[in-house]
Amino acid sequence: MRADARRNHTRLLNAAASAFAEHGENASLDDIAKRAGVGSGTLYRHFPTRRALLEAAYAARIEALGVRGEELSRSLPPGEALTMWLHELCAATIQVRGLKTLLGTAATDTPLTTCGTLVKSTATTLLTAAQSEGTLRPDLTPTDLLRLTQGVATAAELGGGEAREIERYLGWLLDGIRVSGD
Amino acid sequence: MRADARRNHTRLLNAAASAFAEHGENASLDDIAKRAGVGSGTLYRHFPTRRALLEAAYAARIEALGVRGEELSRSLPPGEALTMWLHELCAATIQVRGLKTLLGTAATDTPLTTCGTLVKSTATTLLTAAQSEGTLRPDLTPTDLLRLTQGVATAAELGGGEAREIERYLGWLLDGIRVSGD
DNA sequence: ACCTGAACACCGTTCAAGT
DNA sequence: ACCTGAACACCGTTCAAGT
């Protein structure tokens, strides 16, 4: 990769991150190119679609979520680890504008994006551990869990997105997906 | 209201309904004006914002949901009436593209739109009846309920939006918001 | 009183020309 | 090999001119 190409690549990522943060996931691509001091064609050369740019801009954030999941699964009992991770996933979905679209790609049976695959594998690890304890419904799949977490994030976001709301709604969801009648 | 104004009004509503159905809530306003055989300025005269047009185009659908809620509350026990109505609300949210944005305005403490007020009052009636039976958590507000229902709709939509998915996710939500420990 | 459509600003995307 | 930016198409919104 040529030196100027590499420089433009990182400039574009920085510009994209701040533009998405300011204007949401539909921030003007032209504006991003301008902020990066780069021709618009260059943006398309590096990131052929808006989604590709979104994914690249948030890759670090997504990886952090994966790492955090592993940490939690090592340091806490399965049920608590899952709860905490879901809380952090919700909080990130709400706080980081544009992450929702990206995480939607994780909530399918066969994720098509890198970040989707990572998030789903973390969810699978945490969920399986909690289920083998026997407190969570065995018919709940990782895909279900990620969809429902997106749902909780949507609900909490409508309420302002404060941690208190997330806990309230997430708590009820978890009550609903525990094994009952035991 | 002049005859041509009235005619343009209904033409715009029809054009908007089909355009929103085809292209979602971001359908081109210019295209809607063209379909209606009307100058673009006329669209803005009748409906100053996209939201105003959305609300007008779906007013009938929203009113039907209100009527349906009353029907159900008369013909079924409170718990079942609430469950069925929430199911239909979810199904409508998923099926009718653009309804989600509109229903988001109902999920606030003081809805600002006509349709928001209607949906919220229906939800209040059904929820209060179910709560007075004693099976649903008393600390659940109508606002909570509408937010969570939007959440379930989001989750079910990620899964294709079939009735089976809605029932599954809605069922778990309802399990989670029932009074426990009795 | 209401309608029309040209006009302006803005954005996404492509591609010939440059280095 | 990579970059630039003009060019094109499209959309939202306004407003002077028309009836």
Together in a domain, A83 and A106: yes
What CATH number corresponds to the domain at position B42?
A: 1.10.10.60
- Residue A104: φ, ψ to 5°: -55, -30
Together in a domain, B19 and B89: no
Domain assignment of residue A70, given as a range: 57-177
Beta bridge partners of A178: A136
- Note the CA–C1' distance, B28 to D5, in angstroms: 28
Write out the two tokens for A162.
Answer: 């404060």
In this predicted model, what pLDDT tens digit does every residue of A110-152 receive, in sequence order?
A: 998 999 999 999 999 999 999 999 999 999 999 999 999 999 9
Tell me how many domains chain B contains: 2
Helix B163-176 to helix A142-158 angle (10° resolution) is 70
Q: Centre a 10 Å sphere on the Cβ of residue B160 and count the other Cβ atoms it contains.
A: 10
pLDDT above 90 (res B156): yes
> Which of chain D's bases lie under 7 Å from a protein CB?
1-7, 10-16
Q: What is the per-residue burial (b if ≥16 Cβ within 10 Å, else e) of A84-104?
A: bbbbbbbbbbbebbbbbbbbb
Grade residue A175 by pLDDT with cuts at 50, 70 and 90: very high
What CATH number corresponds to the domain at position A95?
A: 1.10.357.10
Together in a domain, A33 and A84: no
A182 assigned to some structural domain: no
Contact at 8 Å (CB) between B12 and B38? yes
Together in a domain, B139 and B116: yes
B182 assigned to some structural domain: no
Q: Which of A36, A47, A30, A31 is nearest to A8 (CA)?
A: A36
Beta bridge partners of B178: B136
Together in a domain, B80 and B1: no
pLDDT above 90 (res B28): yes
Together in a domain, A139 and A65: yes
Together in a domain, B43 and B79: no
Return the DSSP state at B107: S
Together in a domain, B115 and B31: no
Which residue in the block uniquely carries the two structure tokens 């208190």?
A164
- Note the CA–C1' distance, A114 to D1, in angstroms: 27
pLDDT above 50 (res B40): yes
CB contact under 8 A, B154 and A156: no
CB contact under 8 A, A107 and B148: no
- Please report how many Cα atoms fall inside a 13 Å half-sphere around the Cα of residue B111, on the Cβ side: 23
Chain A residues in contact with B175 (beta carbon < 8 A) = 175-177, 180
A10 assigned to some structural domain: yes
In this predicted model, what pLDDT tens digit does every residue of A51-61 receive, in sequence order?
A: 999 999 999 99
Residue in B closest to A177 by C-alpha = B172
Looking at residue A1, its pLDDT comes to 77
When CB atoms are compared, the residue of B150, B156, B173 closest to A176 is B173
Together in a domain, A24 and A100: no
Write out the two tokens for A114.
Answer: 């890198």
Contact at 8 Å (CB) between B182 and B160? no
Looking at residue A182, its pLDDT comes to 47
Most B CBs within 10 Å, among A175, A177, A179, A182, to test the B interface: A175
Together in a domain, B76 and B34: no
Q: Centre a 10 Å sphere on the Cβ of residue A3 and count the other Cβ atoms it contains.
A: 7
In this predicted model, what pLDDT tens digit does every residue of A66-121 receive, in sequence order?
A: 999 999 999 999 999 999 999 999 999 999 988 999 999 999 999 989 999 999 99
Name the pTM for this structure: 0.93
Type and span of the H or E element at A35: helix A29-35
Q: Which of A103, A108, A102 is nearest to A49 (CA)?
A: A102
